[in-house]
Structure 1
Amino acid sequence: MTAVTLETRNLTKTFGALMATTDVSFRLEKGARHALIGPNGAGKTTFINLLTGVLKPSDGSVMLEGKDITALRREGRVQRGLVRTFQINQLFAGLNVVESLALVINEREGQGWRWLKPAFDAPGIDDEIAGLLSDFGLDSVFDQPCSALPYGKQRLLEIALAVACRPKVLLLDEPAAGVPEADRKEVMSRLAALPADVSILLIEHDMDLVFNFANRISVLVAGALFAEGSVEEISKDQRVKQVYLGGAAHA
């Protein structure tokens, strides 16, 4: 039986009379490449915010590796290995690529105060940075300010920063959004090359990317889990086609 890394049980969030998510029970298996799809307003962002601690649920729970993290703050979840990227890049505009990676790695190690020391002299940090630069195709822009990078490189850097946190679960919120077509394949190929033991939950509207990346898909509609299955099962599900794939998939 495959181990479950992340799980929600009857997760519910209300805003007054509005039910943003309703009794969502979801399981992310260890090493999964799992996509979360649904029409606009389906509650996908609310669900991710509940997973990451941005929002507190009205009911239900979130479990990471079998431990209840429902009451844990955002930073505590990151420290335990639950890491996300954002639909709109969240980068350190005043730093360059290497400085950004050094800051995240040292913060991860509880030594954020030393990130700007010459040669980044914390043991092994230079090798780790070099590996991340290579893995995400950032070698040629290592000394450029984050704000000056082409948008595709900014996306790759944001993912590299998330990986520098050593995630057990990586939540990717539309990683290809806004990326020029010529760079989209590189972003997705770098994601496909991530370590197999990192469990990935991908939110994405581009169904070609979803079908090429994911091995399992969950469909959220009106805040509730509407369908779940393999790529083949979801692509053939007539109910999913009617509410999402038939017309709204590329909206």
Structure 2
Amino acid sequence: MNDIVLSATGLVMRFGGITATNNVSLNLRRGARHALIGPNGAGKTTLINLLTGVLTPTEGRIVLEGEDITRLAPHKRVARGMVRTFQINQLFDSMSPLETLALVVSQHTGAGADWWRPLGSSKQVAERAGQLLEQFRLADVANQQTKHLAYGKRRLLEIAIALACEPRVLLLDEPVAGVPAGEREELLETVAALPADVSVLLIEHDMDLVFSFADRMTVLVNGTLLTEGDPDTIANDPKVKEVYLGHGEAHA
């Protein structure tokens, strides 16, 4: 089982009389490219909130690299290597990408309150921030205020922030949501090039991205696990076609 980096077993989440997550289990393998899909109201966001500690399950267990984290606070999960991007962009509008990444890298490496010093005074922080700016195609806008960035660039910065935390498990929450068509290719290419040693769980409605990215897929419907398998299996599953992909819709 040592190739399983994140394991959720029998998760149940009840809100009053409503069961939002009904006995869902999921295993994320080391280095996986795993997609979580399902129609609106399927319970994807609730499940991610359980995994990240925003919600505490009514029943069930979550294990990260052999450690039970079911009741661990969200920030402690980040410290243990599980990081989430949000489908609603949450960035420091008045700061530049360079300043933002320097702040995150400083906090992660323990420099903390010293992040505001001239960037050149911490070679480690400056080098790592520079690497992230290049990797996420932000070098050309490194010194612009974030509020002036194109939306696609903001999403790239959001993923760069997550990678600055050096995650072992990355939960990508709808990375292309709201991104105009002209800005999508850069984002898709960057997502495809994420480090191989980072295990990725992708939550996404865009089926082109899902099928080009994922090597395994989990389908939720009404808070319940419908099926799980490789992309070919999912694309050809009659139940999936009926509830999600549309009758007769095919994906290569």
TM-score category, normalised to shorter length: over 0.9
**Aligned equivalents of 1:195, 1:129: Cα separation in 2:** 16
Alignment of 1:234-249 (within 5 A): 234-246=234-246
Distance 1:13 1:54 in 2: 12
- The answer to whether residue 121 in structure 2 is matched with residue 121 in structure 1 is yes
1:56 aligns with 2:56: yes
Offset of 1:94 from its aligned partner? 2.2
Bigger mean CA deviation after superposition, 36-45 or 116-125: 116-125
One-letter amino acid of the counterpart of residue 33, structure 1? R
Residue in 2 aligned with 1:211? 211
How far, CA to CA, are the matches of 2:108 and 2:2 in structure 1? Answer: 29
C-alpha contact (below 8 Å) 1:168/1:199 kept by paired residues: yes
- TM-score, structure 2 normalization: 0.96
1:153 aligned residue = 153
User: Secondary structure at 1:41's aligned position in 2?
Assistant: coil
Secondary structure in structure 2 of the residue aligned to 1:107: helix
Percent identical across equivalent pairs? 55
Deviations 1:44-71 (A, max 9, x none): 0000000000011111111101110111
Shift of 1:228: 0.3
On the 8 A contact 1:102/1:120 being kept in 2, the answer is no
Which whole-Å CA distance do the structure 1 matches of 2:226 and 2:2 have between them?
Answer: 23
CA RMSD of aligned residues (A): 1.6
SS in 2 for 1:89: coil
**CA distance in 2 between partners of 1:120 and 1:94 (Å):** 21
Are positions 1:143 and 2:143 aligned together?
Answer: yes
Partner of 1:112: 112
Q: Which residue number in structure 1 is paired with residue 103 of structure 2?
A: 103
Corresponding residue of 2:176: 176
Partner Cα distance (2:165, 2:87) in 1: 18
Distance 2:68 2:75 in 1: 15
Helix, strand or coil for the counterpart of 1:31? coil
Would you say the 8 A contact 1:13–1:58 is kept in 2? yes
Aligned to 1:88: 88
Unaligned runs of 5+ in 2: none
Q: Could you say which residue in structure 2 is the equivalent of 1:202?
A: 202
Q: Which runs of 5+ in 1 are unaligned?
A: none
User: How far did residue 109 of structure 1 move?
Assistant: 1.9
- Secondary structure in 2 aligned to 1:159? helix
By how many angstroms is 1:172 displaced? 0.6
Q: Distance in 2 between matches of 1:63 and 1:122?
A: 36
The 8 Å contact of residues 39 and 248 in structure 1, kept in 2 or not, is answered as no
How many pairs align?
249
Aligned counterparts of 1:6 and 1:44: Cα–Cα separation in 2? 16
Spell out structure 1 runs of 4+ moving beyond 3 A. Answer: none
1:189 equivalent in structure 2: 189
Residues 3-42 of structure 1 aligned to structure 2 (within 5 Å) = 3-42=3-42
Tell me if structure 1 keeps the 8 A contact 2:119–2:125.
Answer: no
- Please identify, of 149-158 and 240-249, the stretch whose mean Cα deviation from structure 2 is larger: 240-249
SS at match of 1:115: helix
Distance 2:80 2:69 in 1: 9
- Letter aligned with residue 56 of structure 1: T
